[in-house]
Amino acid sequence: MEDNERYPELRRRLSPGWWTANRHYTMYMVREWTSLFVALYSLIFIYGLSLWAMDSRADFLNFLKNPAIVGFSLIALVFTMYHAATWFYLLGAIAPVRIGRSRTKPWQALVLNLILLVIISYLAIWLLALR
Amino acid sequence: MKVETHKIARLHAILWGIFSLGGMIAAFLLPVLIYMTAIAYPFSLWPFSGSRDPSFLVTGHLLGALFIFVTIAGSLYHGIFRFQSALTEVGLLKYRRALEAVGYFIIFVGIIVLAYYLVTWYLNGTIT
């Protein structure tokens, strides 16, 4: 069965530049492309571990201090935070919580989850690096 | 044909479920890992202003190894899945199957290699 028969919505072909049509589409596409940095950071970290596994721990640590890796990681952190913020906002839009007669707003989910992010980050540092 | 469609739909639901879980992991755990490895350690900031370094995260204790596995594997799955999906939206829809194949191959190899290193270090006592 062709995809177009199985998924009729696929018949609506979009031009490659459709996401430049307005600001919302552009922000959506920027958000999607932040995932490239999430994936690349993960692959780079695995590569760093392979240096450790095949050579020595010092190679792994030197790799983490490499200016190119530090520079890329800083950009990745900015995009990861953007990913996190848009993900939290999306959660609030998709799954609002009903409290009494009202429903929570997306920005409330964003704020709550950002606070949770800070708490989880501190706990992770305390549990994994300080204990 | 209907059974096949249901199977595909179920598989899609599972894959999207893992994708969502990866999204939560990337949102909540990846920022702190990047901070520790790319900012705190190279610039000698808290919590790596003392004698410890990021290798302690991996081999300091089992919880750290689990944190690394969950964070990197979840983020890798989410990142690749989302990126290959984004590529189909910018004119590469006709290459969807090939993009999916390459994407899942990278995810599979990445997670297997990561698990192999961590399990090996656990078994030989490097992870304490």
> What digits encode the pLDDT tens for the residues B12-58?
888 888 988 999 999 999 999 999 999 999 999 999 988 889 999 99
> What digits encode the pLDDT tens for the residues B72-95?
999 999 999 999 999 998 888 889
Chain B: give the shortest CA distance to residue A23, in Å.
Answer: 16
Q: Using a CB–CB cutoff of 8 Å, tell me whether A54 touches chain B.
A: no
Q: In angstroms, rounded to a whole number, what is the distance separating the alpha carbons of residues B46 and A34?
A: 27
Domains defined along chain B, listed by start: 2-123 (1.20.1300.10)
Q: Using a CB–CB cutoff of 8 Å, tell me whether B80 touches chain A.
A: yes
Residues in A touching B34 (Cβ below 8 Å): 41, 73, 76-77, 80
- Number of H-type helices and E-type strands within chain A: 5, 2
**Measured between CB atoms, which of A35, A50, A81 is closest to B79?**
A35
Query: Domain extents for chain A?
Result: 19-130
Compute φ and ψ for A47, nearest 5 degrees: -60, -40
Q: Could you give the ipTM of this predicted complex?
A: 0.92
Search chain B and give the residue with CA nearest A54: B117
pTM summary value: 0.90
Of the CATH numbers 3.40.50.720, 1.20.1300.10, 2.120.10.30, 2.60.120.700, which one belongs to the domain with range A19-130? Answer: 1.20.1300.10
Q: Which residue has the tokens 């899942």?
A: B104
Number of Cβ atoms within 10 Å of the Cβ of B121: 18
